[in-house]
Structure 1
Amino acid sequence: MIINQPCSGYTLPVFACAAAVAALQYLQQKNQFLQQVSIDLIDPAETVNIPIEQIAMLTENSALAITRSDPGDNLDLTRNTPIWARVEWVNHLPLPLSSPGRRDQLSDAIFIQGGEGIGYHEKTGQTAIYRYAKLLLLANLEKYLKPNEKILITFILPEGKQLATRTSNAAFGIVEGLSLLGTTGISQALTVPEQLEHYQAQLQEKAREFDCLVFCIGENGLDLAQKMGIPPQQIVKTANWLGSMLVSAALAGIQSILLLGYHGKLIKLAGGIFHTHHHLADGRLEILTAYCATAGLPTVNLQQIFNSTTAEDALQYLRELEVIQGENWVNQVYGAIATAIDHRSQAYIYTHCEKNVKVGSLMFDRKRKIIITSKIADTLLQQICYSNLNHS
């Protein structure tokens, strides 16, 4: 029996870059059709050929090229989505270029901006095109430009707004589309079981060196953890498999775990939900409403919490109530939730493997501002950061 191995593909920034390169070459060569372009991935250090689906001149000074995302066998919602890049010659660009906005200057010759379907930061207006995408563009475009030539690239994801509703982008202030986000050009082809096994393998490796680990559900948690001074070697990414990862950690000999995550995810643990993907189970607002009721919020306020669109909206409403009523609702409610998360996590571990592991929780909001740190989490944080200082 032959088992087909999963096929790797490429991340979204690679296809965006390929579309930009194709449009530039078409603009330079005047209507010479390109079936594919070569892209230096930088990380990993290899060059790959990316197919070009369509290409056309728009005006005498601009061209449009279209690629289509292919993440391989990876679980990626951008599969087969078209990516457009419009490239135009510019002699000068409207100022101000350096102020916050949807245009960014990569070099003296290359400017980029987000069009339809490319998300942007709600607070700053800055387009959600990140470091790796920018490095790709510089490495692959500058070599084609002659001295004094300048281009403006506009990226468009026609399906971006629709796809963004299936992500947690809005919870972190990215609105109106997707991000060109990634740290590598390769989209690892992992099935759901393989992804969990990958995280468990990392956990096993770290457990050989530490008896206390920090679990981060997503990229925002990873970023905050490192800014807090938590050493990367003690951080484990869990994605949505909190239950499996907690038990795996206990079996690997871990004595204590700090859960660090967005409140809209971690709050589910207080309701006994240990796989946090929204397609499997979601009771965030119901759980939050129950804890608000226990804290003594009036019925009219409970109804507002329950009918909130998101957990973030409910948190904001609680903060507004604090100002109006003079009650410390956030600390009362989230303090009780954090304590419940700690207790339920410890009980979950013992139920599944009869191991006693100390678990603490820290929750943050969409601006990565810490909402609450449980008593156990506070103790673990002090131990982790103190140990890190001593080893620095």
Structure 2
Amino acid sequence: MSDKPMRKGITTGTCAAAAAKAAVLAWQGQHVTTVEVVSPQGVALVAPVAESHVVADGGVAWVIKDAGDDPDITNGVKIVAAVRVADEPGIVIKAGEGVGTVTKPGLAVPVGEPAVNSGPRTMITKAVEDCLPPGKGAIVTISIPDGERLAARTLNPILGIAGGLSIIGTTGIVEPMSEEAFKNSLVPQISVVQALGYDEIVFAPGKIGQDIAINRYGLPAETVVQTSNFIGHMLENAVKYGMRRVLLFGHLGKIVKVSAGVFHTHNRMADARLETLAAYLAASGAPQAAIKEVLDSTTTEAAMPIIARYNMTAVYQVLAERASVRAMRYVFGDLTVGTVIVTLKGEILGLDQTAREIGGHLGWNVPIE
């Protein structure tokens, strides 16, 4: 394994600021190959400029995003700034093709504004003002030609950012993605739910569970958010954002871990799925042959027919109840939690009474028993 340090990159915000500055310089007759911009923390950053040219009343330039060794979806994309110089002071930032517009409250940018966060706004404004003549202003339109297609593979549609990607970056520099950074990228989903006026939220570990919750059982799409493997982290943030009740909604393979008190559910971190299933089956009176067959299974999905064959399907409700208890214990009782366990095809295996109450309040279409 190499111990070579991972290479840092530049954020979309740095790219946009650099392109905007290069566009103004092109308007002034200077066609540069690199520009220096300043991060919100006052750090000078140098970015290469791919192209710049003059247009009527201004200039256009673009920068190719270099994310370093970070697996960033925007790595290699073209970030374009078209600057129209105005006779009045002030910098106006607009969203062009492939840059999203905020459509839901709860984000750092108000509804109706381009999805350009405050750090990049500061960088773009300073970069343009630094090279404009006194008394002049500018309208800066940021575009990402492939942005709308790429945005479909991000959380933007869930967060209410329509039409493209976000221009983000608090420091101007991309640090290679850490687990902590990924965890924190999930949290804005909760703030959007809160801003829409909900104090109940549905946590689905993955896209399959999210789709089942919305499309099959009619839970409001705006309340259903993905946790990935970081269920504990998201529960803590649900408390932070004032949520009152949480509905855990997911596949047996994930939820059974929560039943065992595992709140980081990646299989390399903790994988006691079958052991937990076997323990609860044993506690429910399953014969030893059933326990052995479950432990010999490769997945929880493969264990389901075995559990059915031994008429032990009541264990799923026990596991749902236990997952809720462990989740509430994890946040010291600051949330009320209900749990639904589903198959990959979307059939409900088990759920507890609290799940029925939360789901019913949110208007799902699960029959009342």
**Range into which the TM-score falls when normalised by the shorter chain:** 0.5 to 0.7
Determine helix, strand or coil for the equivalent of 2:170.
Answer: coil
Determine which of 52, 57, 68 is the counterpart of 2:54: 57
Matched, 1:359 2:327: yes
Select 2:187's aligned residue among 218, 221, 226: 218
1:283 lines up with 2:198 in the alignment: no
Within 1, Cα distance between the matches of 2:102 and 2:210?
A: 24
Q: Is the 8 A contact 1:284 1:311 kept in 2?
A: no
User: Which AA in structure 1 matches 2:135?
Assistant: N
Deviation (angstroms), 1:117: 0.7
Q: Distance in 2 between matches of 1:171 and 1:69?
A: 24
SS in 2 for 1:64: strand
1:121 aligns with 2:108: no
Distance 2:185 2:141 in 1: 34
Q: Distance in 2 between matches of 1:2 and 1:127?
A: 41
Contact 2:61 2:81 in 1 (8 A): yes
State the distance in 1 between where 2:126 and 2:166 align.
20
In structure 2, give the amino acid aligned to 1:15. C
Q: Partner residue of 1:47?
A: 44
User: 1:126 deviation in Å?
Assistant: 1.8
Report the Cα distance in structure 2 between the residues aligned to 1:3 and 1:358, rounded to whole angstroms: 39
> Are the equivalent residues in 2 in contact too, given 1:216–1:261 (CA < 8 A)?
no
Aligned to 1:243: none
Instruction: Write the distance in 2 (CA, Å) between the matches of 1:113 and 1:41.
Output: 20
In structure 2, what residue type is equivalent to 1:76?
Answer: D
* Cα distance, 1:160–1:182 mapped onto 2, change above 3 Å: same
Compute the displacement of 1:125 (Å).
Answer: 2.6
State how 1:206-245 maps to structure 2 within 5 Å.
217-221=186-190
2:136 to 142, 149, 157: 149
From 349, 355, 358, the equivalent of 2:261 is: 349
Task: Give the 3-state SS of the residue equivalent to 2:31 in structure 1.
Answer: coil
User: Measured at CA, do residues 375 and 6 of structure 1 come closer, stay the same or move farther in structure 2, by a change above 3 Å?
Assistant: closer
Which secondary structure does the structure 2 equivalent of 1:111 belong to?
strand
Q: Name 1:319's counterpart in structure 2.
A: none
Unaligned stretches of 5+ residues in structure 1? 93-107, 203-214, 229-259, 269-275, 293-304, 316-334, 362-372, 378-392
Q: Quick one: distance in 2 between partners of 1:216 and 1:48?
A: 24
Asked if structure 1 preserves the Cα contact closer than 8 Å seen for 2:327 and 2:337, the reply is no
Change (3 A) 1:177 1:144: same
Tell me the matched-pair count.
Answer: 249
| 1:133 and 2:102 aligned | no
Counterpart in the other structure of 2:70? 74
Shift of the 314–34 alpha-carbon distance from structure 1 to 2, 3 Å rule, reads closer
Within 1, Cα distance between the matches of 2:259 and 2:50?
53
Which residue is 2:360 aligned to? Answer: none
Q: Distance in 1 between matches of 2:136 and 2:249?
A: 60
Residue type of the alignment partner of 1:34: V
Percent sequence identity over matched residues?
Answer: 22
Aligned residue for 1:155, secondary structure, equals: strand
Counterpart of 2:247? 338
Q: Give 1:36 shift.
A: 0.4
In 2 relative to 1, CA 337–87 (structure 1 residues): closer, same or farther, beyond 3 Å? closer
Q: Which residue of 1 aligns with 2:24?
A: 24
Unaligned runs of 5+ in 2: 105-110, 225-243, 263-270, 277-322, 330-334, 340-369
**Aligned-partner SS, 1:144:** coil
Q: Going by fraction, where is helix more abundant, 1 or 2?
A: 1
Deviations 1:163-216 (A, max 9, x none): 1111121112110101112222111113xxxx23x579x9xxxxxxxxxxxx99
Distance 2:143 2:34 in 1: 19
CA distance in 2, matches of 1:33, 1:20: 13
Shift of the alpha carbon at 1:16?
0.3
Q: Which amino acid in 2 is paired with 1:10?
A: I
Report how far residue 71 of structure 1 moved.
1.0
Separation in 1 of the partners of 2:22 and 2:215? 52
Aligned to 1:388: none
1:181 and 2:168 equivalent?
A: yes
Q: Distance in 2 between matches of 1:7 and 1:261?
A: 41
Query: Which residue matches 1:88?
Result: 84
For the residues of structure 1 that align with 2:189 and 2:48, how far apart are their CA atoms?
A: 33
1:165 aligns with 2:165: no
- 1: distance between equivalents of 2:31 and 2:249? 61
Aligned pairs for 1:240-251 (under 5 A) are none
Asked if the contact 2:20/2:127 (under 8 Å) is kept, the reply is: no
Compare 65-74 and 132-141 and name the one that shifted more: 132-141
- What is the match of residue 381 of structure 1? none
CA deviations on 1:243-275 (whole Å, 9 max, x unpaired) are: xxxxxxxxxxxxxxxxx9963xx234xxxxxxx
Larger radius of gyration: 2
Cα 1:140–1:261 shift into 2, 3 Å: farther
C-alpha separation in 2, matches of 1:225 and 1:358:
24
The CA deviation at 1:47 is: 1.0
Q: Deviations over 1:119-147 (max 9, x none)?
A: 00236432111111111123322222232
Counterpart for residue 34 of structure 2? 36
Quick one: distance in 2 between partners of 1:129 and 1:189? 21
Pairing partner for 2:92 from 104, 111, 115: 111
Per-residue CA deviations over 1:87-113 (Å, capped at 9, x if unaligned) read 112236xxxxxxxxxxxxxxx421111
Cα shift at 1:5: 2.2
